[in-house]
A and B are shown apart, each in its own frame.
Chain A
């Protein structure tokens, strides 16, 4: 087996740790820092906290608060231009996956003459990025520890930038930032993180023992705490566990890849603006059920992460229990489970299936079971 494992150099995990942002940025040598976030982060007062901390460290702050979900390329470009014009020498991503993914590109391209289009794909970027701290406010995307950024181009297509420079200098986990997450966001992002762990563990292309260990740890943390934080949003320990689980799952999938669940979710986000985590949740149970014949052993290995104190008579039973547990969790999370309820049109299903098979095949390749375009369409129809 040969593999490569990349990791963020430093993880700071501390409730209330957002107030240390300034000191951490100072260690990285930045004096003018652009904070990339969305308007909700302003409303919640988190940007204010980061600002205060940076100012106290004598660091100048610029806040770009226009990030949108499934970040449109032109908005990311505005953030890059803004940081460049303002001569930023450090970047902070603050928010959910969209903000963190945007921040990665800002840190990279504000320090470069390359264009966004010019670095779509794998390892196209040259040169160093600016110092970067990522502060997630949802427990789900794991974006704070990955070197991939997914944005939506001007033709509504998801585009991916993979390049090691996108890994931040520091991932700062402050569970306090997630205490107030609305239930649906908690559910969608939490399920997204679980998918990261599961798909990382079952990847056919880049599965490796380090990622495996992380996936198991992550899925245990996530599986045991997701329903807790949905039922009791103020459960601080569970919130902290979710944030850690999300980060660890992020490290796992980034080094092992995700698969068909993510593949099928992409067009739902790009075309219908269904939040990424929710899009995953919609197809997650059906894809796992589809994969069962090929991934039974792996699912059986993961079953104890979700189901405690259970002696399974056989591998098949454990795998079946695992898939059934997911099938129960998704509707119990409070998220809508039908595409039709989220504005997806029936005539788009086959088109989306073609798109997944044709343009996002790398994620089908890593799926534990082969999938054809008609398999994909069948899954869409099942959840339509």
Chain B
């Protein structure tokens, strides 16, 4: 690889073009959020983020995120185990279905839940009788969040387990270890960092999801508004300081996530070596 490093004008031109593009497209919007949020000082910022509605939206976002991470971790572990450790028919169908939420527009993700649990669904009378409301309520938001982050964890674990193969697990099983022991002692050390990495990605997306949640939320201030929805509400009400103050929290979160991501990826690579 080093043979290519002769330097020269082409190299620095390409580096400069890349750096300029990334700074303008990625760093500028990020920095702009922080500057706008603190333009009027720290006091308006604090007032905006400690508003009761703001706190409620933070709480709801955290709730939805925790649910999404738990469900997707359970799913990711079981799905990765079944897909990588066994041969069976329909494996391709399952992995296609797992990846499906990535290709579906968030708006369509919201729509399919509206059709499943909404007024025109055959489930609606039963739900109503049981007193459960899903769409335009918190459960709908949680479901939408799970859907949009569905493949995030399994997709990180599957390649690692595929690369690790099945020999170690087979040896352990032949020596009499049970399933839980094999997972804990043999498989888990391989996937530890990939799993953490997946959880971080899942958290980021879950906290920031907008489209799908927007369809399923009734946009009730203090009830079904997540952070991104609350930001939209403030922005459309021309409360720019408030909108950017809430955004600043999410920007800080995004930066933390990127740092963690790089740490986990680095540790994961070392782990595999």
Is B truly associated with A?
no
